[in-house]
Amino acid sequence: MAHSNNKVSSSIEEIKGDGSGEFEETIEEFEESNTKESKDTQLSSHDNVKKVLEWIPYDRFHNIEYIAKYEFGEVYRANWIDGNIFYWDNENQNWKRKDHNMFVNLKNLNTPNNIVLELTNKINIEYKIHGITQNPKTKNYMIVLDNICDKCNHICYAIHFQQNFKTWTSGNYNIDKLIQNSQLSGHTYYSVKYALEWIPYNRFYDIKYIAKDESYRANWIDGNISYWNDENQNWKRENYNMFVILKSLDTPKHIINEIENEA
């Protein structure tokens, strides 16, 4: 096992400087069952906290949902309450964090040996791994990593849209898929303006009839999506209370045809 730990440590960049002392102090607080891999990476990080792993108690995750099965176990999606380490606060003598409540993937691993193999593979292809946790019921270890886009190899706008699929529905499968597909095509800042979204009717006001084809003019309270705010983990919007046109259509099929024609 010591040989495998050295593999993990050697895969993480060694940076000269000062800073690993804080990690060394907190290691004493870890449970005896914690894996040595997280400790090794912390002691090898002197001024680059992006490279470290940490032990993350399982109760710091919520909204844990099963995604899929893979070679070593299962993959889950979850929200990480605390977010990742950002820098050491000398005044308060603790770690400052960012991206609170961020989305992460939890990869369930059957044995600690699999953790070493998985971490080594992921580090080699530059996935961002935040740490290791353990399911208290199954006792299986899990690695905590970013949910990245296969096309972009980072957390792009399409991933942020995907993470919110379960927070809305039109009530119609075909309409939901149309909206979702448009959002999954929005990988960049420039393409996000073409993404559709489901907008609750109560987000419009001053709705006024304007034409025989059942068109209405209204003000949209929220305005359109502009960009993703990493700090607050939500979409930033622009053009609040903007004027929009609402076109009434008889059936979901007509809606889909109308949107495709407009595109």
Instruction: State residue 26's pLDDT score.
Output: 40
Place of tokens 């942020």: 160
Instruction: State residue 211's pLDDT score.
Output: 82
Q: Residue 212: pLDDT above 60?
A: yes
- C-alpha to C-alpha distance for 56 and 30, rounded to whole angstroms: 10
pLDDT tier at 34 (50, 70, 90 boundaries)? very low
Domain 2-145: give its CATH superfamily.
Phosphorylase Kinase; domain 1 (3.30.200.20)
pLDDT tier at 257 (50, 70, 90 boundaries)? low
- C-alpha to C-alpha distance for 117 and 106, rounded to whole angstroms: 16
- Single-letter amino acid, residue 152: C
Query: Mean pLDDT throughout 35-44?
Result: 51
Instruction: State residue 252's pLDDT score.
Output: 64
CA distances from 20 to 23, 31, 136, 192, 198 (A): 5, 19, 29, 40, 47
- When the pLDDT of each residue in the chain is averaged and rounded to a whole number, the result is 77
* 216 vs 165 pLDDT, higher one: 216
CA 202 vs. chain centroid, Å, equals 28
- Residue extent(s) of CATH 3.30.200.20 domains in the chain: 2-145
Q: Residue 89: pLDDT above 90?
A: no
Q: What is the dihedral of CA 194, 199, 203, 205, to 10 degrees?
A: 70
Q: Which helix (H) or strand (E) holds 121?
A: helix 112-124
Q: Which helix (H) or strand (E) holds 184?
A: helix 173-184
Tokens at 56, concatenated: 């993350």
Q: Which residues contact 258 (CB under 8 A, 6 or more apart)?
A: 247, 249
Query: Mean pLDDT throughout 11-23?
Result: 37
Instruction: State residue 208's pLDDT score.
Output: 95
Tokens at 110, concatenated: 């059957």
Place of tokens 């001024």: 47
